[in-house]
Amino acid sequence: MTTEQEPGPTQAADVYQQMSMMVTSHWIPQVVRAAVDLSLPDHLAEGGLTADEVAQREDSASGTTFRLMRACVVLGLLTVDTEGRFHGTSLLATLGTDFFDYLAKHPSQARDFSEGLTSTTSLWTSDAAKVIDTTGVKLVVDLGGATGSLLHLLLEGNPSLRGIVFDRPNVIDGAAAETARKGLKDRTDVVGGDFFQSVPSADLYVLKMILHDWDDTSCIKILTNCRNAMTPGGRIAVVEMIIGELSDPGPAALMDMNMLAAVPGQERSLSEYDRLLSAAGLRRTAVLPTSSRQSVIEAVAR
Supply the pLDDT for residue 67.
Answer: 93
pLDDT band at 115 (very low <50, low <70, confident <90, very high): low
Length of the chain as a residue count: 302
Supply the pLDDT for residue 29.
Answer: 85
DSSP string, 248-261: S--THHHHHHHHHH
As beta bridge partners, residue 288 has 296
Supply the pLDDT for residue 19.
Answer: 83
> If DSSP codes are grouped into helix, strand and coil, which group holds residue 154?
helix
Q: Which residues contact 87 (CB under 8 A, 6 or more apart)?
A: 44, 47, 48, 78, 79, 80, 81
Average pLDDT, the chain: 88
pLDDT band at 9 (very low <50, low <70, confident <90, very high): low
Angstrom distance (rounded) from CA 202 to CA 80: 55
Supply the pLDDT for residue 46.
Answer: 86
Q: Provide the H-helix boundaries in 132-247.
A: 149-157, 172-181, 216-229
Q: Which residue has the higher pLDDT, 244 or 19?
A: 244
Type of residue found at 219: C
Whether 54 and 38 have beta carbons less than 8 Å apart is answered as yes
pTM: 0.69
Angstrom distance (rounded) from CA 54 to CA 35: 11
Half-sphere exposure of 144 (CA within 13 A, CB side): 21
Q: Residue 178 pLDDT > 80, yes or no?
A: yes
Give the pLDDT confidence of 14-50 residue by residue, as tens digits.
887 888 778 878 788 888 989 988 999 999 988 999 9
Q: Residue 208 pLDDT > 90, yes or no?
A: yes
pLDDT > 90 in the chain, percent: 67
pLDDT band at 262 (very low <50, low <70, confident <90, very high): confident
Supply the pLDDT for residue 122.
Answer: 62
Angstrom distance (rounded) from CA 100 to CA 72: 25
Supply the pLDDT for residue 292.
Answer: 86
Q: How far is CA 244 from CA 121, 178, 250, 270, in A?
A: 21, 35, 6, 8
Instruction: Indicate if 212 belongs to the active site.
Output: yes
Which CATH architecture group holds 100-301? 3-Layer(aba) Sandwich (3.40)
Q: Residue 282 pLDDT > 90, yes or no?
A: yes
Pairing type for strands 162-167 and 188-192 reads parallel
Q: Residue 92 pLDDT > 70, yes or no?
A: yes
Q: Which residues contact 256 (CB under 8 A, 6 or more apart)?
A: 243, 266, 267
Q: Can you give the residue ranges of every domain in the chain? A: 9-96, 100-301
Supply the pLDDT for residue 120.
Answer: 54
- In words, the CATH class of domain 9-96 is mainly alpha
Angstrom distance (rounded) from CA 135 to CA 158: 8
